[in-house]
Amino acid sequence: MNRNDKNGDGVASFFDFVYYLFYKVYGKINEGCYIVMPITKHLKLFKLTEGILLQHQYVNYLLRHEWNNLVNRDGLYNYLEEIIPGLPIVADAIAAAHIDEGLLPPIGQQEVWAAGVTYLRSREARMEESADSGAADLYDKVYAAERPELFFKSMPYRVAGHKQEVYIRRDSAWNVPEPELTLFINSNGNIQAYTIGNDMSSRSIEGENALYLPQAKIFERSAAIGPCLYVPSEPIATDTAIRMSIHRNNAEVYKDETSISRMKRSFTELAGYLYRECDFPSGSFLMTGTCLVPQNDFTLRENDIVSISIDGIGTMVNIVSFKPL
């Protein structure tokens, strides 16, 4: 069990609470010395069908704000902390029920963009899939280049959320999920929050010809984000872990994990390039690339279950399906 996950939905369990107290607050014994562990203060925003739920220090609060106006600001953490005293408290059982029954992707009018080849493993995978097309050198060069690869991923109406379906293409023989830490960047170009992203991709289409990238990446429900917007008081830790597992017919067919410290580029660097010549009036989401790549003989199938966890944020689960005919 990942003690940083909140039962997959961000709802804290008793075990999580005990772990928080004894290992985060009171510290641990190491070589006979008492060490106080650092704590990153944070809040979580859950977008619901009936409002917005704010979680802070294991207490749930209800907000009636308009989503875009709420999140698109500088100093988002400080603003949320300031308004908490005036917010109504929601009982744990009611909050859990709302999250279970009415959770939406944490997105409003924002576009979703993505960065490619930001990890060495991603470069290797792209080179492998494009070897026959003769385009392998493209990925080697973009990994080493000053300018990062950035591409448009999704409009908000195509985005899936936690426990919702993501689609694979019928005209693709090789489909994979790509788990990615995703930035929420406000209209001023400043990173304010984080969430989990799933960049659903067709490796066979992209591998056939690099110019087919939009078809390999952009289709209905090819992007998922959730389960919440994670708003820390300081930038997310570089040792934050990303984990992914895939289940098929109740059996685990893939499992791996990595750390965002393995990224070649910084988050501020990626955000800076995205905002150089683009305006985002409501802010944007930027998926930051993946390092978890299933083996080359693996492809997703209908009804596969993809679970992605990121320390502090929680877990997002998606069911694989096809776009209805």
- State the DSSP string of 109-174: S-EEEEEES-SHHHHHHHHHHTTTTT-HHHHHHHHHSSSPEEEEEE-GGG-B-TTSEEE--TT-S-
Per the structure, the count of domains in the chain is 1
Give a yes or no: residue 96 inside a domain: no
> Token match 């001023």: residue?
188
Q: Please report whether residue 66 resides in a domain.
A: no
Residue 123 sits in a domain whose CATH number is 3.90.850.10
Radius of gyration over every alpha carbon of the chain, rounded to an integer in angstroms: 20
Q: What is the pLDDT of residue 124?
A: 61
184, part of any domain: yes
Residue type, 235: P
pLDDT at position 28: 38
pLDDT at 264: 87
3-class secondary structure, 33 = strand
Residue at 15 is within a domain: no
pLDDT tens for residues 188-219?
A: 999 999 999 999 999 999 889 989 999 999 99
Separation between Cα atoms, residue 308 and residue 8, nearest integer Å: 9
- Quick check: is 65 in a domain? no
What burial class does residue 265 get, using C-beta atoms within 10 Å of its C-beta: 0-12 exposed, 13-18 middle, 19+ buried?
A: middle
Q: What pTM value is reported for the model?
A: 0.86
d(CA 83, CA 94): 21
Residue 252 belongs to a domain: yes
Residues of the chain with pLDDT under 50: 1-8, 10-38
Integer angstrom CA distances of residue 11 from 63, 113, 178, 207, 244: 17, 28, 25, 40, 20
pLDDT of residue 19: 37
Q: How many residues does the chain have?
A: 325
Domain assignment of residue 82, yes or no: no
User: By residue range, what is the domain housing residue 136?
Assistant: 111-321
Measured from the Cβ of residue 249, the count of other Cβ atoms closer than 10 Å reads 9
What gap in Å lies between CA 1 and CA 74, rounded to an integer? 35
Give domain status of residue 7, yes or no: no
